[in-house]
Each structure stands twice: as structure tokens, then as C-alpha cells.
Amino acid sequence: MKTLRNAALSILLFCSSILAWELIVRFFEVPIFIFPAPSKVAEALWRGFSTGLYQKHLYHTLLETVLGFLLGAALGFFLGTVVALNRYVEYFFYPYIVMFQSLPKVALAPLIVVWFGLGLKSQVVNAALVAFFPLLVNTVVGLKSADEDRMNLMRSLAASEAQIFWILRLPNALPFVMAGLDVAMIFALIGAIVAEFVGARAGLGMLIQSMNFNMDVSGQFSVLLILSIVGLLLNRCILLIRRRVLFWDPSEKERLERERIAL
Amino acid sequence: MEVIAVKELSKLYPTRDGSVQALQKINFSINEGEFVAVVGPSGCGKSTLLKILAGILPLSKGEARLRGSLITGPRRDIGVVFQSPVLFPWRSVLDNVLLPIEVHRLGRNGHLKLAMELLSLVGLEGFEHRYPWELSGGMQQRVAITRALVHDPAMLLMDEPFGALDAMTREQMNLELQRIWLERKKTVLFITHSITEAVFLADRVLVMTPRPGCIMDDVQVKIPRPRAFEAMNLPEFAPYVNGIRGRFNAKGLMDT
């Protein structure tokens, strides 16, 4: 009963804000190239999708983001594992990795475009570069976080280093890795869009750029709306995986509990 | 037959200002099927002793043998129960119990039946597919005991296994452990700081002094088994407890 009422309230709030937005823009006669009314945004959305323009660019951006995410995450996880397991690699390379991490990666986008061209490749590389670090850092921390008692148990069983890795360290690191994936997914989208800003032939970021030149503000709003929905859906995908993988994690259980109360 | 033989065992910990002597010239042996408790105040090195016997900590001087062979590292014929249950939350109860089988590559299928038998022995029948976080503290510790028994080790080492439990669960677990021990007849080394627990459970109680830890007494407990809680009220029970407590008091080692 309470959830029903909350759902109704939330829909009511949404509709009334849209209505207020529409009325304010009309009443004050805000020019469309400054702040378009929701009806104009909806119009642009319809125009974009009915001509097939948005689908094409959406597909492009999604592909870049997902490929970049997979590439960056895989590399980050792999390198993180190497760093966590090998003291020498950590000693000699980790300082540089940390240094590189503090660099705003999007500042590299112009270089990436010079190196990889205007095609899909440069956006994927840029997305991967940005998605790489959260996973690397979280993997390193996660693999090193196995507690002393559990290590002692494995040692008392005469477990080999490989067994300790597969049976204890890796599952133990999963909450950290999943948190890294969570961030990496959103980062990959940012990386892809920034690369498109710098130079690309297709994609929602490129679309925003060209709409900006044409002062098509309602068009930009409609693309922003699509981007936020894409971001939300990608994040949901990770959450679904996380829920399956981390069913045993206390923080995950708490979160589920909180969500249930919120609903 | 001697399962454990410890001779002149010493352990030094290196620290910033010289080394600290944790154990000094420890001598004792444990016979097959014997239940031996080690009792001593905190900081007397009893956990260090257990870790050395488990092979996860090297000794400094002397020697420790298990069934005649020197303990130089972790071994497969030992089962350890720690103070906390140390279960892996991503594994079901059954998979936690089968951990030693998996690590020693003994074949999961061949040990399923034994694992289930042991689980019902500790009173966890029907819980095999649950997860550790669904169980109470006492139940989790039973899983840990089952895990220590599943590969049929020569020796069970228990490091204050019930120290983290509340008093009532602890009494219950003492009874359970005695029952399991009577049924399985494993050789047990049981570390505790509770004198009553030690006397209630053990055939022999080794009394340790702290810093440097050494054994100051070896008490045979001649109370018939199975011992019920009522045994604690028997006239022969109190002298053991008071005797051991007297040893500590004489040394000024007890806070109370």
C-alpha cells in the first residue's frame, strides 16, 4: 500500500515538474536556442528517431562504450592481478601507474585521435583508457585484502600459492572488482563521448557538437536525455551482474535492504 | 603411541629492541586418542605453540614431531580450528566443509558422504546448502570443526574455538565437542584460557606461564566420561580447577 502510494507520488512529481517547466518557458517566452520547452525536446526526440539518425549514432556510441569498457576492464584486471601477485612488478611499475592515474585521462583524447584517427578505434581506445584505472586500482586492493585468519587457514591446509589465489584471494577481491566495474562503465561512456567531441565521424557526442554549431538546443537536450538513459541502463546491467555474483557480500545485502525500504 | 612429541621447543620473536622469548624449552608429548588442553593467561604463547604445531610458524630452537616426523611446514594430516570460524561466505556450508578435500585434491565426490555424516554428527543436518551468514555463531563454529575433521587428520588443533561465543552456547559446544570426540576418538590439542573448560574437556591439562611461555604443570584429569555438566558439581571436579588456579595465583598471574 505504501509502495503504491510512493509510486503514485513519484509519477505525480515527475509530471508536475515537466508541466511547470513547459509553463515557465512559455510564460516568460524563453528563446528556444537558450532553453527549450519539454514539448520541443520531445519533438526533437521524435524527429531524431523517426529519421533513424539517433539510432545510428546511439549504436555507434554504445558500441564504443561497451568495447572500451571490456577492453579497459580486462586490461585493468589483468594488470592489477600481476601487480598484486608480484612484488617486483609492484615496486618498479606501480609508482608510474599511480602517477599516470592522477592525470585527467580525457586530456589525452586529442593525442589519441591523432594516433588512431577519426574512426571507431580512437573512441574505443579512449574509453578503455579511462575505464582501465578504476579496475586496476580496485583489483590490486581487493587481491591484497584477504584477512590474516583466512590466509592462516589456507596455509595450515598446505595450500599452494595458486590455490590460495583461486580459492581465497580472487573471490575475496570480487566486491572490490565489482565496485571498479561500476565506475569503469560510467567512465567508459565519458571517455567515448569526449573522444567524439575531439573528432569522430559518428556518435552521440559528435551529434551534440554539430547540433551546438547549428544552435539546435532542443536537439542537444534530446541527446542528453538519451545519454542519461544509456548511462542508467549500463549501470543497471552492472548492478544485475553484481547482485548475482556478490549474493554473499554483506554490503550487497545491506544495499538490497535499503533499496527495498526506499521502494 | 605418541602423536605429538615436543622437545626443548623455544620461540623467539624479533622486535625493534632485541628479541622477545615467546616460548621457552617446552617439553610434552600427546598420545594417540588423547584430549589435551593447554591453559594459560593471554599472552603466554599458547597460540604461538599451536601455530608452530600447525606448521604455519617456524620454531626457533628444539623440535616438534608429528607421528615421528619433524614438523617443518604446513601438513595435510592436521586439522585446525581457529578462534573465529573462518568460513568463506561465498561458499555453502558443504563447500566450506569440503575445502580441505579440494585443497588436497582428494576427490569431492568420494568425500560427499563423509561430509554429510560429519555435518549430522555436529547437528547440522539439512544446513549443507545454506551459507555461513545464515547461521548463528555456534553453528558456524560447528562447520569449522566439521571442516577440520573431513580429511581425517591425525591431530586436531583447536585455538580457543569457543572463545568468541556467549557463555551458554559455549557450554553447549563443550558438551557437543566431548560427544564428537568420544565418537571419533581423535587426538586433540585444545587451547583455552578457561580453566573449567580445560578440566571439563581434557584428559590432561598443560598449565602454561606467560613470558616466556613454559609448561609449569601437567595435570591428569581422572573424571569418568561421558562427563555431563553436573560433573562440574562433583566433588572431584573442584580440586582440579582450584589446583590449577592455585598455580596461577601463586605466581601472581591471575587478574581475578
- Interval A86-121: pLDDT, tens: 889 888 988 888 888 888 888 899 999 999 988 899
Give the residue extent of every domain in chain B: 1-77+158-173+186-256, 87-153
Q: Check B56 against A155: CB less than 8 A apart.
A: yes
Closest chain A residue to B96 measured between Cα atoms?
A167
Contact: B54, A249; criterion CB under 8 Å? no
CA gap B170, A167 in Å, rounded: 30
Among B165, B168, B162, B166, which residue's Cα sits nearest to residue B201? B162
**CA gap B69, B3 in Å, rounded:** 10
Q: Which of B80, B90, B131 sits opposite A156 (nearest CB)?
A: B80
- State pTM to two decimals: 0.83
Number of A–B residue contacts, CB under 8 Å? 53
Q: Round to whole Å and give the CA distance between A179 and A142.
A: 10
Q: Which of A149, A157, A174 sits opposite B74 (nearest CB)?
A: A157
How far is residue A71's CA from residue B237's CA, in Å, rounded to a whole number?
A: 69
* Per-residue DSSP letter, B213: B
Q: Which residues in chain A have their CB less than 8 angstroms from residue B90's CB?
A: 171, 174, 248
Q: Which residues of A touch B50 (CB under 8 A)?
A: none
Handedness of CA A165, A167, A168, A170 (dihedral sign): positive
ipTM of the prediction: 0.87
Q: Test A156 with B54 for CB contact under 8 angstroms.
A: yes
d(CA A170, CA A253): 20
Average pLDDT of the residues in A215-239: 94
* Mean pLDDT (whole number) for A8-17: 94
Contact yes or no for A82/A144 (Cβ under 8 A): no
Hey, is the C-beta of B35 within 8 angstroms of any chain A C-beta? no
Q: Which helix (H) or strand (E) holds A254?
A: helix A250-262
Per residue in A107-116, pLDDT tens? 899 999 999 9
CA angle B106, A163, B73 (to 5 degrees): 80
A149, A250, A253 ranked by CB distance to B86: nearest: A149
Segment A152-162, tens digit of pLDDT: 999 999 999 99
Q: A76 pLDDT band (50/70/90 cuts)?
A: very high
DSSP lists the bridge partners of residue B29 as: B5
Per-block mean pLDDT, blocks of 10 residues, chain B (256 long)? 87 83 88 92 84 91 90 90 93 95 92 91 90 91 92 91 85 88 90 90 89 84 82 81 84 58
A163 CB neighbours in chain B (<8 A) are 103
Superfamily of domain B1-77+158-173+186-256: P-loop containing nucleotide triphosphate hydrolases (3.40.50.300)
**What pLDDT, on the 0 to 100 scale, is given for residue A199?**
85
Q: Is A134:A180 a contact under the CB 8 Å cutoff?
A: yes
Q: How far apart are CA B79 and CA A241, in angstroms?
A: 36
Cα torsion through B208, B210, B216, B222, rounded to 10: -20
Of B78, B89, B103, the CB nearest to A159: B103
